[in-house]
Amino acid sequence: MKKIVILISGRGSNMEAIVRAQIPGAAIAAVIANRPDAGGLEFAASHRIPTFVVDHKAYPSRDAFDAALADAIDAHAPDLVVLAGFMRVLTDAFVVRYSGRLLNIHPSLLPSFPGLATHRKALEAGVRVHGATVHFVTPALDCGPIVIQAAVPVLPGDDEARLAARVLAQEHRIYPQAVRWFVDGRLGFADGGAVTVRGEQDGPAGWTVPPVEA
């Protein structure tokens, strides 16, 4: 059984998707929030998942917060740490501590549009395809090895809200799949650091075409 700790800052809809997926061989050991009012804490508690708050406002520096957060995570000895709408930039030392077992989801087709305001940037750039990316976290922001991506069309008349909703629906599909692959021991790294998915035979690994597994 692989133990997973999920970090959230708000409602945690991607955390909900992972919990609802009931991934075989995975146990959600804890959900940790950096905000005491994070809505996802209630959902986790209702599913009998231990919840904890490490309030970033209670610490004098980013280093101090990250150290406290790492202590809270390590208390559960997780195999995987999942960032699910965790809105804090983590220090390099924290990221290195969980190297190879720290996943994030980003609402764009990386390497396009790293950082914030991705849907606005996509609309302003006039792209015809947008999407979401699950990747391993590295010290360089939004630059880690890509595990899986999903693409959506940018439609005439789209605004940020409509485009964001279309992307979010795909996030809820691909994040549980990435976690499942990790739990099943199917993720590896090719020369140069690109992620490989063992057992993929129906096309480019890491895309939702063909569809993600049931």
Active-site residues, by number, are 106
Tokens representing 170 are 């795909």
Name every residue whose Cβ is closer than 8 Å to that of residue 140 and which is 6 or more positions away in sequence.
Answer: none
Q: Identity (one letter) of the amino acid at 39?
A: G
Closest by CA to 81, choosing from 102, 111, 66, is: 102
Q: What is the rounded distance in angstroms from the CA atom of residue 156 to the CA atom of residue 41?
A: 37
List the strands of the sheet with 51-53, edge to edge: 51-53, 26-33, 2-8, 80-83, 102-106, 129-136, 146-153
